[in-house]
Amino acid sequence: MKILSVILARGGSKGIPSKNIVELNGKPLISYTIEASLQSNVDETWVSTDSSEIASVSSTYGASVIDRPSEISTDTSQSEEALLHAAHDSEFDVVVFIQPTSPLIKSEDINKGLKMMDKYDSVFSVTKEHWIPRWTMDVKPFEWEINNRPMRQDKPETYIENGAFYITKRKNLLESKLRYSGKIGVVEMPLSRSFQIDTLDDLNLINTIIRGNE
């Protein structure tokens, strides 16, 4: 069984300029997910990008590069478009889609998911959440009543996609055109490693976490 990882890294980030290669504790952001992939049981690690700068950095850290066409590298492009582009150009059995904005991922997270692929068609990373009262943006209770506030222990726990990685079989990806389909399982990761970098506040927070773990 051939296992391929694909890290999707567009060059056109707006929230944080050049986000995918922004410095995080002295290293480019994308290097963390590349290293996690290389240290895992994945056979080949690829970065799909439309940016020559990201391609150069990725190669430096040991990843191969897929040149992503500009028409599937826009702000409205879906990740599945780039995954399908990679799937049509490569022969493999299982693909691990890793998001470069999740630098706290570890190789053992990926390996845990890969071990599940004999039972599932797809798996993805999650973190467990206890119920908390949520409010809409116009300050109204979201899916609960203000005069009948539930006790936390009376509400079921739920899983939240933490966005770190998704694993699926190539045939399922080609047939469904989705990152997960068929029989789906989950890999639970601790909240402390489930943060994604989308804003400068996220970047500062994860910088602090990494330095605290050194």
In a domain, 152, yes or no: no
3-state SS of 80-91? HHHHHHHHHHCC
Q: Say how far apart CA 3 and CA 110 lie, in whole Å.
A: 11
Report the CATH number that the domain containing residue 89 is assigned in CATH: 3.90.550.10
Catalytic positions are 149
Walk along the chain (214 residues) and give the pLDDT tens digit of each residue.
899 999 999 887 777 888 999 999 999 999 999 999 999 999 999 999 999 999 999 999 999 999 988 888 887 789 999 999 999 878 899 999 999 999 999 999 999 999 999 999 999 999 999 989 999 999 999 989 999 898 888 888 999 999 999 999 999 999 999 999 999 999 999 999 999 999 999 999 999 999 877 6
**CA dist list (Å): 95 to 5, 25, 41, 179:** 5, 29, 12, 9
End-to-end CA distance of the chain: give it in Å, rounded.
36
In a domain, 133, yes or no: no
Total count of domains within the chain: 1
Q: Residue 74: which domain range? A: 3-125+161-213
**CA dist list (Å): 84 to 68, 79, 121:** 11, 9, 16
Amino acid at 42: V
In a domain, 57, yes or no: yes
3-state SS of 36-103? HHHCCCCCEEEEEECCHHHHHHHHHCCCEEEECCHHHCCCCCCHHHHHHHHHHHCCCCEEEEECCCCC
- pTM as predicted: 0.91
In a domain, 131, yes or no: no
